[in-house]
C-alpha cells in the first residue's frame, strides 16, 4: 500500500480523517445511485458494469438503489449531492430524456446534470400477441384506424409510453392520443403481462424486456427501431420500413454527476469507462441480454441525450402531451 | 379518558378531516389536468371518495357513542404523573427531530449513538451501564454489517468518517 | 421424455454437494436477512444475485430460492420478538405473535411460525410442481376487472382484523387508503399530496410506514409510561411448541397454504394480503375467536402459512409464463436471463432438466428451512430476555438503519418517525393498526385496476362484471359484507339489551 493511503487509513481508524481535499480523486468509495428498483434493466446493467468499472477506478463502488417516481427520486438525490465526484448516477432514457420532455413538474432538468458517459444502447421493439391476428405494422395501423386499440406502458412518462406514441405517429396516425388508448401499468413486467392477457393490444419497449416472450412465442415482434436487425427478433428494422426517424427511439444507460462536476473528474470517468467496456466478460454478458455496447465520451454523450430529448420534446409539444399539474 | 369519549373525539376528528380534505387539501394539492374525459378517471376522484367514506365513518362513530351513553368503560389509568409523561413525550419528539436534522450532517452512526442514550434515559432504564455500552456498540456493529456486508451506502457525514 | 426421465435428469443436475451447499447457504442468508428489519427478503435476494453470476445456472438459482424461502420465514422472527416485521409479509404475524412474546411464549410462537412456514412451503412447492400449467393459464385470465373484484373482496378482511370496533377499523383503513394516494397519479402522472417535495413523488415507502406503525409506537408508549413494563420481565418462555399445538392449528395451516398458493400464482398481489386473508379466515372459523389479537397461537400459524404458501406459487407465473409476480421473482428472473435461460412455456421443453432440478431443490429447501430455522430460533429467542430499557433504544437504532437501507433515503427515516406518532395516537385511541396496513397495500391496487378497467371500456362500468371470475368475487364480497353487517347489528343490539359494554 502506498504510504499516503496507509497514513490516511490509520487516520480514519483513529477517527480523525476529515474530507481531505488534497488527496487525489478517488480516495474513498464512490456512491453510485441507481434510480430504479432491483432486478430492473438499469439495475442489472449498473451491477454488471460495476465489476470491471470498480477495477478501473481502484476504489469500491457502492451501489444504492433509490427508487420512486419513475427515476426522479434517485436523480434528485444526485442533483442535490456535492459535486465532488463521490456521488454519481446511473441515468436512464426514462429518467433523463422522456421524463424531462414530458413533465413540467419534474424537480430537475437536463442542465442539472453533467454526463460523463453513455455506454449501453437498447433497441426498442414493438410486440403483440399471436392471438391478436396482427402480423405486421400495416395490420396494426389498419386496426388503429378501425378503433379500439390500446397500448400498455410501464407508467406515464416512461420510455414505452412515448415509444408507442412516436411509432404510431411515424406510421401516419395524425393524433395517436385520440386514436388509441394508453393503459399505464406499474412497471415493465406488468406492461408485458397486460399485453399477454389481452388488456392491451400492443406495446413498445426495450428488446431485452420482450426477448424471452418472443423466444417462447408468446409475443410477436412487429418492428425494431435500430438500423441493424436484433438477434432473435424476426421483425423488420425501422430502416427496412423506411422510417429512419425511429432510430432516435432507443433506450440507453449512462453515468452522470451534478452539473458542476469538475473537468478532471469527468475526464477520469472517460478513461475508466473506456477500460471497463473493453472487458470481454462484461460485453458478452450485456450482449446476451440484447444490449449494444457503445461507449460515448462525455461530450458525445451530452450531445446524444440532448438530441433525443429534443426529438421527444417536439413530439410532446405537438401532441400536447406535456404534464403540467 | 373512557371508550365513549375516545369515540366521540375520533368521530369529530374524522368529520373535520373529511371536510378539510374535500374543501381545501384535495383541490389545492391534487392536480387534475383539464382534459380529463370522465370524472371517475380524474386523479381527484379517489381521494374524494375516501374522504367521503372517512366522514361517514366519523358520523357512525359519533352516533354509536351518543346512542350508548352507558358505555363508560374506563381505560385503565396508565400514568401517575401526567405532566412528567408529557414532558418525556416532547423529549422523544425532540430526539426524533434532532435525529432527522443531524443524520445528513453527522452521519448515521454518531447520530444514532446519541439517540440511543437519549431514549434509554427517557425510558428510565434500569441498566444504565449496559445501555451506554450498547449505545456505542450497536450502531458500530450495524454500520459494519450494512456498509461492509450488505454494501449499503450508510451516510457518513462530513466531520468524522469511519473506514 | 417421460416424467420419470425428466425427474432423473433433474436429479442428476442437483444431486451434488454444490447444489445442496448453495441451498443451505441460501436459506441461512435468507433467515438472517429476513430477520433484520429493513433488509427484508427482497434485499437479501438482490444482494445475493451478483454472487450467482459465476455459478452454474442451477446452483445459482437454488441459492436465490433458498434466500427467498429463508427470508419469508425470517421476517417473522422480529415480528414476534420486537413487533417489527422484517418484511411486509410478516405484518400479520405481529397481531398475535407479539402478544405471545409479551406473555412469555416467544419460543412457542417462533416454533409455531417455523412449523407453519415449513408446512406451507411444502404445500406450495408441491402445488407448483403439480398444478403449474393449470394455475398459470388461470392467472393469465386476470385482467384489471378481475383484479378489481378480487381486491374488493380482499378488503373485507378488514372486518376480521378490526378487533372490538368495526368503525374504528374502518377509520384506520380510510387513513391507510388516503396515505397510499400520495405520489404520482397512475393515469395522468400528476402530483398528489406531494407538497412540492420530490421525495414524496414516489409515494410513502411501505417499509417505513410499516415499521413506523408497529415498532415506533411501542417506544413512544414506553417513554410515555416507563413503569408499565417494570413488573413483567418477559421471561424467555421455556415451553416449546408441541405436536398437539400443531395438530390444533393444522386446518388453519392447510387453509392458509392454499390461500397463499392461489394468491401467489396471480402476478402482482404478493405475500402480505395472503397472510392477512389467511389470518382472518382462521379467526372466522376458530371457536376461540375472542382470543385472536391477544396472543392466539393459531393466529401466528395462519399468518405464517399464508405468507409462506405464496413463496413457491410465485414461481408458477415465472416458470410457466415468464411473468414475475413480485419484486423477488423479478430478481430471480434476472438470474435466469444472465445464464441465458428464458423462463416461459418453452423452458419446459428446452430445459426440462433444469425445471425438474429446481423442483427437487425446492422440495429439499423445505427440509433445510426446518433445520436452519430451528437453529436460528434458538439463537434469536434470547432477544426476549434483554431488558426493555436497553432493547427498545436498540430497536430504534436498528429501525433507523433498516429503513434507511431499504431505499438509501434519509427521508424515509422521517416518514417512519411521523408514522410512529400516528401509530401512537392510534394506540391511545385503541384504533387497530392492521386495517391501516391492509388498506395501504390494497388501496393502490384497487384504484389502479379500477381505472385501468375504465380505460379499457371507455368508462363503462359493465366491464367490472365481465366474466365468471368477476361474478364469483362479487358474490363472495356481497355474502361477506351481509354477514359482517348482520353480525355488527346483532352485537350492537345485544349490548344495548344487556347493557353490556362490549
Any domain includes A48: yes
How many of the other CB atoms lie within 10 Å of CB of C458?
A: 11
pLDDT for the residue numbered C316 = 87
B101 and B145 in a single domain? The answer is yes
Average pLDDT over residues A201-218: 89
Minimal C-alpha gap between C6 and chain B (Å): 38
Minimal C-alpha gap between C443 and chain B (Å): 10
Minimal C-alpha gap between B153 and chain A (Å): 6
Which tens digit of pLDDT belongs to each residue from A175-195?
Answer: 998 899 999 998 888 898 899
Average pLDDT over residues A241-265: 93
- Per the listing, cell 421527444 goes with A312
The DSSP line for B104-160 is HHH-HHHHHHHHHHHHHHHTT-S-HHHHHHHHHHHHHHHHIIIIIIS-------SS-
Do the chains contact at A323 and C199, CB–CB below 8 Å? no
Do the chains contact at C220 and B138, CB–CB below 8 Å? no
Do the chains contact at B161 and A17, CB–CB below 8 Å? yes
Contact partners for chain C, using 3 or more CB pairs closer than 8 A, are: A, B
Instruction: Tell me if chain C has a CB within 8 Å of the CB of B70.
Output: yes
pLDDT for the residue numbered A5 = 42
Instruction: Tell me if chain B has a CB within 8 Å of the CB of C177.
Output: yes
Which among B31, B57, B155 has the least Cβ separation from residue C170?
B57
Q: Find chain C residues with C-beta within 8 A of A183's C-beta.
A: 452, 455-456
pLDDT for the residue numbered C66 = 94
What domain range is A113 assigned to?
A: 28-121+250-319
Instruction: Tell me if chain B has a CB within 8 Å of the CB of C425.
Output: no
Do the chains contact at A211 and C144, CB–CB below 8 Å? no
Which among A15, A62, A324 has the least Cβ separation from residue B153?
A62
Contact partners for chain A, using 3 or more CB pairs closer than 8 A, are: B, C
Any domain includes A19: no
B62 and B110 in a single domain? The answer is no
Do the chains contact at C171 and B122, CB–CB below 8 Å? no
Q: What angle do CA C234, C239, C245 make, to 5 degrees?
A: 120
Which tens digit of pLDDT belongs to each residue from A135-171?
Answer: 999 999 999 999 889 999 998 989 999 999 999 999 9
Any domain includes A283: yes
CATH number of the domain enclosing A240: 3.40.190.10
> What is d(CA C120, CA C250) in angstroms, rounded to the nearest whole number?
10
Do the chains contact at C220 and B50, CB–CB below 8 Å? no
Eight-state DSSP code of residue A237:
B
Domain termination residue (choose one: A228, A248, A268)? A248
A38 and A145 in a single domain? The answer is no
Q: Round the average pLDDT of chain A to a whole number and report it.
A: 88
What is the count of structural domains for chain A?
2
Any domain includes B21: yes
A89 and A236 in a single domain? The answer is no
Do the chains contact at C187 and A184, CB–CB below 8 Å? yes
> What is d(CA C400, CA C416) in angstroms, rounded to the nearest whole number?
8
B87 and B143 in a single domain? The answer is yes
Domain termination residue (choose one: A231, A248, A265)? A248
Minimal C-alpha gap between C110 and chain A (Å): 30
Any domain includes A16: no
The DSSP line for C61-80 is HHHHHHHHHHHHHHTHHHHH
B8 and B62 in a single domain? The answer is yes
Do the chains contact at C190 and B32, CB–CB below 8 Å? yes
pLDDT in 10s for each residue of chain B, 163 residues: 577 888 899 999 999 999 999 999 999 899 888 777 778 888 999 999 999 999 999 999 999 888 876 655 555 556 667 888 899 999 999 999 999 999 988 999 999 999 999 999 898 888 889 999 999 999 999 999 888 887 888 888 777 777 7
B60 and B88 in a single domain? The answer is no
Domain termination residue (choose one: B67, B92, B113)? B67
Instruction: Tell me if chain A has a CB within 8 Å of the CB of C267.
Output: yes
Which among A13, A18, A64 has the least Cβ separation from residue B163?
A13
A130 and A236 in a single domain? The answer is yes
Residue A10, pLDDT above cutoff 60: no
Q: Find chain C residues with C-beta within 8 A of B100's C-beta.
A: 410, 413-414, 417
Do the chains contact at C174 and B43, CB–CB below 8 Å? no
**Three-class SS string for C313-328?**
HCHHHHHHHCCCCCHH
B86 and B63 in a single domain? The answer is no
Do the chains contact at C198 and A107, CB–CB below 8 Å? yes
What is the count of structural domains for chain B?
2
pLDDT for the residue numbered A15 = 40
pLDDT in 10s for each residue of chain C, 502 residues: 566 777 788 888 777 888 899 999 999 999 988 888 767 788 788 778 777 877 888 899 999 999 999 999 999 999 998 888 878 888 899 999 999 988 888 889 999 999 999 999 999 999 998 888 777 777 788 889 998 998 898 888 888 778 778 899 999 999 999 999 999 888 888 889 988 888 898 889 888 888 888 889 988 988 888 876 554 555 555 667 888 889 999 999 999 999 999 888 888 777 888 999 999 889 888 888 888 888 899 999 999 999 999 988 888 888 887 777 777 887 888 788 777 787 877 777 778 888 888 999 998 999 999 999 999 988 887 777 788 888 889 889 988 998 888 888 999 999 999 999 999 999 889 898 888 988 888 888 899 999 999 999 988 899 999 989 999 999 989 998 888 888 777 766 655 444 443 3
pLDDT for the residue numbered C253 = 95
> What is d(CA A142, CA A180) in angstroms, rounded to the nearest whole number?
12
Any domain includes B141: yes
pLDDT for the residue numbered C7 = 76
> In chain A, whose CA is at the least distance from the CA of B28?
A325
Question: Does ipTM come in above 0.85?
Answer: yes
Any domain includes B73: no
Minimal C-alpha gap between B124 and chain C (Å): 7
Of the residues B21, B46, B52, B63, the best mutation for testing chain C's interface (the one with the most C CB atoms within 10 Å of its CB) is B46
pLDDT for the residue numbered A318 = 92
A182 and A78 in a single domain? The answer is no
> In chain B, whose CA is at the least distance from the CA of A320?
B35
B44 and B93 in a single domain? The answer is no
pLDDT for the residue numbered C498 = 44
Minimal C-alpha gap between C15 and chain B (Å): 30
Domain definitions of chain C by residue range: 3-466
> What is d(CA A76, CA C194) in angstroms, rounded to the nearest whole number?
15
C-alpha cell at A58: 481502484
CATH number of the domain enclosing A52: 3.40.190.150
What domain range is B136 assigned to?
A: 82-149
The DSSP line for A175-216 is -HHHHSEEEE-SSHHHHHHHHHTTSSSEEEEEHHHHHHHHHT
The DSSP line for C17-50 is HHHHHHHHHHHHHHHHHHHSTTTHHHHHHHHHHH
Do the chains contact at A9 and B163, CB–CB below 8 Å? yes
Do the chains contact at A64 and B31, CB–CB below 8 Å? no
- Per the listing, cell 399530496 goes with C193
B63 and B98 in a single domain? The answer is no
Do the chains contact at C53 and A196, CB–CB below 8 Å? no
C245-265 burial by CB neighbour count: b if 16+ within 10 A, else e? Answer: bbeebbebbebbbbbbbbbbb
Q: Find chain B residues with C-beta within 8 A of A178's C-beta.
A: none
Decide: C189 and A102 in contact? Cβ < 8 Å.
Answer: yes
Instruction: Tell me if chain B has a CB within 8 Å of the CB of C170.
Output: yes
Which among B73, B99, B122 has the least Cβ separation from residue C501?
B73
Minimal C-alpha gap between C206 and chain B (Å): 19
pLDDT for the residue numbered A163 = 95
A279 and A217 in a single domain? The answer is no
Q: Find chain A residues with C-beta within 8 A of C338's C-beta.
A: 44, 285, 288-289
- For C240, the 3-state DSSP assignment is coil
Cis omega before residue C110 (within 30°)?
no
Which tens digit of pLDDT belongs to each residue from A71-103?
Answer: 999 999 999 998 989 999 999 999 999 999 999
Indicate the pLDDT class of residue A23, thresholds 50, 70 and 90: low
Amino acid at each position: 500500500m502506498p504510504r499516503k493511503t496507509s497514513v490516511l487509513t490509520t487516520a480514519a481508524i483513529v477517527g480523525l480523517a476529515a474530507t481531505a481535499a488534497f488527496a487525489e480523486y478517488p480516495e474513498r468509495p464512490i456512491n453510485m445511485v441507481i434510480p430504479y428498483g432491483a432486478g430492473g434493466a438499469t439495475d442489472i446493467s449498473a451491477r454488471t458494469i460495476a465489476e470491471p468499472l470498480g477495477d478501473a477506478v481502484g476504489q469500491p463502488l457502492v451501489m444504492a438503489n433509490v427508487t420512486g417516481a419513475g427515476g426522479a427520486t434517485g436523480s434528485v438525490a444526485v442533483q442535490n449531492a456535492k459535486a465532488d465526484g463521490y456521488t454519481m448516477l446511473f441515468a436512464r432514457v426514462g429518467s433523463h430524456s422522456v421524463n424531462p420532455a414530458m413533465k413540467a413538474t419534474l424537480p430537475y432538468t437536463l442542465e442539472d446534470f453533467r454526463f460523463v458517459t453513455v455506454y449501453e444502447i437498447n433497441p426498442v421493439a414493438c410486440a403483440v400477441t399471436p392471438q391478436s391476428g396482427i402480423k405486421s405494422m400495416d395490420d396494426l395501423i389498419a386496426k388503429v384506424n378501425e378503433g379500439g386499440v390500446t397500448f400498455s406502458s410501464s407508467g406515464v412518462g416512461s420510455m414505452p409510453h412515448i415509444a408507442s406514441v412516436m411509432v404510431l405517429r411515424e406510421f401516419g396516425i395524425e393524433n395517436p392520443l385520440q386514436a388509441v388508448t394508453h393503459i399505464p401499468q406499474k412497471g415493465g413486467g406488468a406492461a408485458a403481462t397486460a399485453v399477454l392477457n389481452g388488456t392491451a393490444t400492443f406495446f413498445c419497449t426495450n428488446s431485452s424486456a420482450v426477448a424471452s416472450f418472443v423466444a417462447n412465442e408468446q409475443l410477436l415482434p412487429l418492428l425494431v427501431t435500430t438500423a441493424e436487425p436484433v438477434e432473435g427478433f424476426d421483425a423488420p428494422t425501422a430502416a427496412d420500413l423506411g422510417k429512419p426517424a425511429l432510430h432516435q427511439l432507443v433506450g440507453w444507460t449512462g453515468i452522470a454527476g451534478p452539473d458542476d462536476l469538475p473537468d478532471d473528474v469527468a475526464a477520469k470517468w472517460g478513461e475508466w469507462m473506456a477500460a471497463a467496456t473493453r472487458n470481454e466478460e462484461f460485453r458478452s454478458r450485456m450482449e446476451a441480454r440484447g444490449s449494444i455496447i457503445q461507449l460515448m465520451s462525455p461530450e458525445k454523450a451530452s450531445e446524444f441525450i440532448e438530441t433525443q430529448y429534443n426529438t421527444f420534446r417536439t413530439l410532446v409539444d405537438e401532441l400536447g402531451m406535456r404534464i403540467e399539474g | 379518558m373512557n371508550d365513549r369519549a375516545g369515540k366521540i373525539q375520533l368521530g369529530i376528528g374524522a368529520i373535520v378531516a373529511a371536510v378539510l380534505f374535500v374543501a381545501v387539501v384535495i383541490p389545492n394539492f391534487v392536480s387534475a389536468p383539464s382534459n380529463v374525459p370522465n370524472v371517475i378517471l380524474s386523479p381527484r376522484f379517489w381521494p374524494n371518495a375516501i374522504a367521503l367514506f372517512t366522514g361517514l365513518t366519523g358520523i357512525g362513530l359519533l352516533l354509536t357513542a351518543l346512542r350508548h351513553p352507558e358505555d363508560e368503560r374506563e381505560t385503565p389509568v396508565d400514568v401517575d404523573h401526567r405532566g412528567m409523561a408529557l414532558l418525556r413525550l416532547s423529549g422523544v419528539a425532540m430526539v426524533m427531530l434532532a435525529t432527522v436534522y443531524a443524520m445528513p450532517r453527522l452521519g448515521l452512526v454518531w447520530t444514532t449513538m446519541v439517540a440511543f442514550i437519549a431514549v434509554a434515559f427517557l425510558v428510565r432504564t434500569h441498566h444504565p451501564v449496559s445501555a451506554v455500552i450498547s449505545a456505542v456498540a450497536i450502531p458500530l456493529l450495524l454500520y459494519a454489517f450494512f456498509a461492509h456486508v450488505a454494501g449499503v451506502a450508510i451516510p457518513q457525514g462530513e466531520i468524522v468518517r469511519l473506514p | 421424455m417421460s416424467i420419470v426421465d425428466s425427474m432423473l435428469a433433474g436429479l442428476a443436475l442437483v444431486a451434488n454437494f454444490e447444489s445442496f451447499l448453495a441451498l443451505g447457504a441460501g436459506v441461512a442468508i435468507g433467515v438472517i436477512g429476513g430477520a433484520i428489519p429493513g433488509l427484508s427478503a427482497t434485499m437479501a435476494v438482490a444482494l445475493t444475485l451478483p454472487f450467482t453470476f459465476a455459478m452454474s445456472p442451477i446452483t445459482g438459482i437454488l441459492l436465490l430460492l433458498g434466500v427467498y424461502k429463508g427470508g419469508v420465514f425470517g421476517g417473522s422472527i422480529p415480528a414476534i420478538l420486537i413487533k417489527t416485521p422484517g418484511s411486509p409479509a410478516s405484518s400479520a404475524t405481529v397481531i398475535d405473535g407479539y402478544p405471545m412474546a409479551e406473555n412469555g411464549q416467544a419460543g412457542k410462537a417462533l416454533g409455531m411460525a417455523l412449523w407453519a412456514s415449513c408446512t406451507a412451503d411444502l404445500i406450495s412447492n408441491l402445488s407448483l410442481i403439480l398444478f403449474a400449467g393449470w394455475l398459470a393459464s388461470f392467472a393469465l385470465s386476470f385482467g384489471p376487472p378481475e383484479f378489481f373484484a378480487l381486491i374488493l373482496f380482499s378488503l373485507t378482511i378488514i372486518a376480521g382484523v378490526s378487533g372490538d370496533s368495526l368503525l374504528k377499523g374502518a377509520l384506520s383503513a380510510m387513513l391507510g387508503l388516503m396515505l397510499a394516494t400520495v405520489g404520482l397519479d397512475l393515469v395522468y402522472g400528476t402530483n398528489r399530496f406531494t407538497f412540492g417535495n420530490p421525495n414524496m413523488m414516489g409515494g410513502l415507502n411501505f417499509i417505513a410506514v410499516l415499521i413506523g406503525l408497529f415498532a415506533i409506537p411501542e417506544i413512544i408508549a414506553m417513554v410515555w409510561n416507563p413503569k408499565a413494563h417494570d413488573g413483567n420481565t418477559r421471561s424467555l418462555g421455556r415451553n416449546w411448541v408441541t405436536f398437539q399445538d400443531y395438530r390444533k392449528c393444522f386446518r388453519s395451516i392447510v387453509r392458509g397454504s392454499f390461500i397463499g398458493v392461489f394468491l401467489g400464482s396471480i402476478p402482482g398481489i404478493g405475500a402480505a394480503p395472503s397472510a392477512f386473508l389467511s389470518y382472518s379466515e382462521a379467526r372466522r372459523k376458530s371457536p376461540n375467536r375472542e382470543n385472536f389479537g391477544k396472543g392466539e397461537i393459531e393466529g401466528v400459524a395462519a399468518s405464517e402459512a399464508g405468507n409462506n404458501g405464496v413463496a413457491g406459487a410465485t414461481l408458477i407465473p415465472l416458470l410457466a409464463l415468464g411473468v414475475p409476480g413480485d419484486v423477488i421473482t423479478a430478481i430471480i428472473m434476472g438470474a435466469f436471463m444472465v445464464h441465458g435461460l428464458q423462463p416461459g412455456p418453452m423452458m419446459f421443453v428446452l430445459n426440462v432438466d433444469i425445471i425438474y432440478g429446481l423442483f427437487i431443490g425446492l422440495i429439499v429447501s423445505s427440509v433445510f428451512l426446518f433445520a436452519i430455522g430451528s437453529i436460528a430460533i434458538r439463537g434469536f429467542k434470547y432477544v426476549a430476555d434483554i431488558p426493555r430499557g436497553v432493547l427498545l433504544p436498540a430497536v430504534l437504532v436498528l429501525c433507523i438503519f433498516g429503513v434507511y437501507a431499504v431505499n438509501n433515503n434519509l427521508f424515509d427515516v422521517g416518514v417512519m418517525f411521523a408514522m410512529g406518532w400516528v401509530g401512537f395516537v392510534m394506540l391511545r385511541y385503541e384504533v387497530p393498526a392492521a386495517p391501516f396496513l391492509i388498506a395501504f397495500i390494497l388501496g393502490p391496487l384497487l384504484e389502479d385496476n379500477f381505472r385501468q378497467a375504465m380505460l379499457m371500456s371507455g368508462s363503462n362500468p359493465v366491464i367490472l362484471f365481465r366474466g365468471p371470475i368477476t361474478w364469483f368475487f362479487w358474490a363472495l364480497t356481497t355474502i361477506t359484507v351481509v354477514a359482517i353487517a348482520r353480525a355488527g347489528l346483532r352485537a350492537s343490539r345485544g349490548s344495548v339489551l344487556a347493557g353490556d359494554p362490549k
